[in-house]
Structure 1
Amino acid sequence: MSNTIQTSRDDLARDRTAQDEQSRYSDAALTPPVDVIEDESGITLYADLPGVSRDKLNLHVEAATLTIEAESALAVPQDLKTSHTEVGLGRFRRVFTLSKELDTQGVTAELGQGVLKLRIPKAAHAQPRRIDIHVA
């Protein structure tokens, strides 16, 4: 009888470990690589999001925080059975703290060929401007 009890305990422990692992991976997300280019009128971010479609992309700005969240829609053949997977996550998440010099109301976004392009202009008070000189 003790063998049966031990086997049941082992099965239960394995099930808990599998559930913990599944829960950990369901919350996990990849951090997409991002290039940031600044010019005098603002910044442009290029984020690599392979396999992400427009409907699976969520961008939002709250206060001075920009959040990029996405899910890839890469189709996996139904009969595919893997014995080892290097990258099994299809979720992406990246958070940025934005400078007060940026105009978060003017953010524009484009998605094409797995690359997200975000343009964030500088606020009017942060834009370079020429000061006219008057002769007295």
Structure 2
Amino acid sequence: MTTAQTATATAKNPDALATARLPSERPRYSDSTLTPPVDVVEDDGGITLYADLPGVPRDKLTLNVESDTLTIEGESALPVPDGLQSSHTEVGLARFRRLFTLSKELDTEQVSAEFSQGVLRLRIPKAQHAQPRRIDVKVG
């Protein structure tokens, strides 16, 4: 496709440029990160986060809690089988990063994490002082 044809295709369809480029012309995003989608579920005992991290192996996943900030980072590399060459790659090396500011009501010392099939499950319980509790009333 010539430059004029690419410009015309782009004017008609802005997404056409992505498919018109040759693999060698595609932009490099080595320093950029993707924001993984996260579902947050709260109950009486705390919060549970579910983060989608497709293609991230366990050894490339990093979780940190510092002060009131939770950081989720991961890196995926989807290998191309021997003897084959990719003709189109939208995400060649994906780096995921997501930051959360945690409430003082959460107990960051008790965070638990499970990772299975590209989904990270983090459980952060509420601190003891923030837990709902029943107060007994004495008759007297």
Q: TM-score, normalised to structure 2's length?
A: 0.75
* Aligned partners of 1:44 and 1:117 also within 8 Å: yes
Cα displacement (A) at 1:103 = 0.3
Instruction: Say if 1:94 and 1:87 are closer, same or farther in 2 by CA, change over 3 A.
Output: same
Contact 1:30 1:89 in 2 (8 A): no
Is 1:42 the counterpart of 2:51? The answer is: no
Where do 4+ consecutive residues of structure 1 move more than 6 Å? none
Name stretches of at least 5 consecutive residues in structure 2 with no aligned partner: 1-26
- The residue type paired with residue 44 of structure 1 is T
Unmatched tracts of structure 1, length 5 or more: 1-20
2:133 maps to: 129
1:108 and 2:109 are equivalent in the alignment:
no
Alpha-carbon distance between aligned partners in 2 of 1:28 and 1:80, rounded to the nearest angstrom:
27
Query: What residue in structure 2 maps to residue 58 of structure 1?
Result: 62
The answer to whether residue 80 in structure 2 is matched with residue 76 in structure 1 is yes
Larger Rg: 1
Q: CA deviation at 1:80?
A: 4.5
> How many corresponding residue pairs?
115
Aligned to 1:30: 34
Task: State the 1:86 CA deviation.
Answer: 2.5
> Aligned-pair distance for 1:77?
3.1
SS of 2:34's partner is: coil
**Identity of aligned pairs, percent?**
74
Letter in 2 for 1:43: I
Matched, 1:88 2:92: yes
- 1:81: how far off? 4.2
Larger helix share, 1 or 2 = 1
Q: Provide the rounded CA distance (Å) in 2 between the counterparts of 1:105 and 1:67.
A: 15
Q: CA separation in 1, counterparts of 2:49 and 2:69?
A: 14
Q: How far, CA to CA, are the matches of 2:112 and 2:74 in structure 1?
A: 17
Aligned to 1:99: 103
CA distance in structure 2 between the partners assigned to 1:50 and 1:71 by the alignment = 9
Preserved contact between residue 51 and residue 74 of structure 1 (Cα < 8 Å): yes
Task: Tell whether the 8 Å contact from 1:29 to 1:89 is kept in structure 2 after alignment.
Answer: no
Partners in 2 of 1:58 and 1:96 — Cα distance?
Answer: 14
Supply the distance in 1 between the matched residues of 2:128 and 2:49 (Cα, whole angstroms): 20
CA RMSD of superposed structures (Å): 1.7
